[in-house]
C-alpha cells in the first residue's frame, strides 16, 4: 500500500513538473537568454513542489503505457500552449523595437539578441532588457506563476485538450501584438515620416543637393531625442498592457 501510494505521488509530481517545466521554457522573462538554464530548472522544480499539494485528481499509475504517455505529452502540450500565448502577448516590444530602429535609420546597427537567438535591432534589445527588469519590478511574473497553478482548474490532468480555444487565443494574441507594437513605435513613426517628407521636399527644391548625407544624421539625432523623451511613457504603457492582457488571459 505504501509503495503504491509513493509511486502515485511521484508520478503526479512528475506530471506537474512536465507542465510547469515546459511553461518555464516558453514563458516570457523565464525563457530569456539572460537567465541561466540551471536557474530556470531550479525555479520549475521549486514551483512544482510548492503547488503539488494544492492539486487534486491527479491520474494514477496504470499498467497501460499508452495512457501514461498520453498523460505526459498532454501536460507538456498544455504548458507549451500557455507559455506560447503569453510569449505572443509580450512580443509586441520586439516588434516596436524593430520599427523604431528602421525609422531611426539604424537598421544596420544590429546586436545579438539572446531572447531571439538571432541578430536583433538596437532599440529592440534595449527595450526588451528594460521590459524584463520592469516585469520583475512590478511583479508581473507572479501572474504567470498564478496562471500555471490556475490552469489545473480549467485544464485538469488527463483531460481533453482544448485545441480550438487555444488556437483562437493564440491568433488573437499574435495579431494584437503587432497592433500594440505599431502603437508603441508611433512617436518615431511620426518623426520618421516628417523627416522623410522634409528630405523629399528639400530634394525637389535643390536637386543638386546631397540630401541623403545631410538628412541621415538629422534623422538619427531626432529619433534618439524622441526615443529618450518618450521612453518612460512607452514602457509604462507597455506594462499596463501586459498587466491587463495577462490578467484577462492567464488568470483563468
Per-residue pLDDT of 68-114, as tens digits, reads 888 888 888 888 888 888 888 888 888 888 888 888 877 676 666 66
Residue 157 cell numbers, joined: 490532468
Of 166, 162, 155, 160, the residue nearest 55 (C-alpha) = 155
pLDDT score for 218: 82
pLDDT score for 117: 62
Residue 204 cell numbers, joined: 525637389
pLDDT, the chain, mean: 82
In whole angstroms, what is the distance from residue 30 CA to residue 140 CA? 12
More confident residue, 244 or 4: 244
pLDDT score for 7: 76
* Residue with the three cell numbers 543638386: 208
Residue 6, pLDDT > 70, answer no
Bridge partners of 121, per DSSP, are 110
pLDDT score for 222: 86
Considering only 46-50, 93-97, 158-162, which range has the smallest mean pLDDT? 158-162
pLDDT score for 153: 83
Per-residue pLDDT of 51-76, as tens digits, reads 888 888 777 777 778 888 888 888 88
Q: What is the 3-state secondary structure (H, E, C) of the chain?
A: CHHHHHHHHHHHHHHHHHHHHHHHHHCCCCCCCCCCHHHHHHHHHHHHHHHHHHCCCCCCCCCCHHHHHHHHHHHHHHHHHHHHHHHHHHCHHHHHHHHHHHHCCCCCCEEEECCCCEEEEHHHHHHHHHHHHHHHHCCCHHHHHHHHHHHHHHCCCCCCCCHHHHHHHHHHHHHHHHHHHHHHCHHHHHHHHHHHHHHHHHHHHCCCCCHHHHHHHHHHHHHHHHHHHHHHHHHHHHHHHHHHHHHHHCCC
Residues 80/20, Cβ–Cβ less than 8 Å: no
Amino acid at each position: 500500500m505504501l509503495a503504491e501510494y509513493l509511486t502515485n505521488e511521484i508520478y503526479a509530481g512528475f506530471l506537474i513538473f512536465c507542465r510547469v517545466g515546459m511553461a518555464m521554457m516558453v514563458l516570457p522573462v523565464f525563457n530569456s537568454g539572460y537567465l541561466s538554464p540551471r536557474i530556470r530548472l531550479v525555479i520549475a522544480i521549486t514551483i512544482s513542489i510548492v503547488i503539488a499539494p494544492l492539486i487534486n485528481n491527479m491520474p494514477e499509475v496504470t499498467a497501460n503505457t499508452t495512457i501514461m504517455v498520453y498523460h505526459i505529452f498532454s501536460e507538456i502540450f498544455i504548458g507549451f500552449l500557455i507559455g506560447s500565448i503569453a510569449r505572443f502577448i509580450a512580443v509586441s516590444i520586439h516588434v516596436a523595437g524593430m520599427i523604431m530602429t528602421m525609422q531611426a535609420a539604424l537598421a544596420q546597427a544590429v546586436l545579438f539578441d539572446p531572447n531571439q537567438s538571432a541578430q536583433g535591432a538596437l532599440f529592440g534589445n534595449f527595450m526588451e532588457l528594460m521590459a524584463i527588469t520592469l516585469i520583475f519590478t512590478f511583479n508581473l511574473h507572479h501572474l504567470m506563476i498564478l496562471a500555471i497553478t490556475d490552469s489545473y482548474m480549467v485544464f485538469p490532468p488527463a483531460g481533453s485538450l482544448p485545441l480550438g480555444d487555444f488556437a483562437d487565443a493564440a491568433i488573437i494574441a499574435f495579431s494584437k501584438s503587432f497592433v500594440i507594437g505599431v502603437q508603441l513605435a508611433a512617436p518615431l513613426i511620426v518623426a520618421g515620416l516628417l523627416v522623410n517628407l522634409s528630405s523629399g521636399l528639400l530634394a525637389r527644391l535643390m536637386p543638386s543637393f546631397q540630401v541623403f548625407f545631410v538628412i541621415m544624421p538629422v534623422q538619427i539625432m531626432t529619433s534618439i531625442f524622441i526615443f529618450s523623451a518618450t521612453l518612460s511613457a512607452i514602457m509604462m504603457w507597455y506594462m499596463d498592457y501586459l498587466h491587463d492582457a495577462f490578467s484577462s488571459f492567464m488568470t483563468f
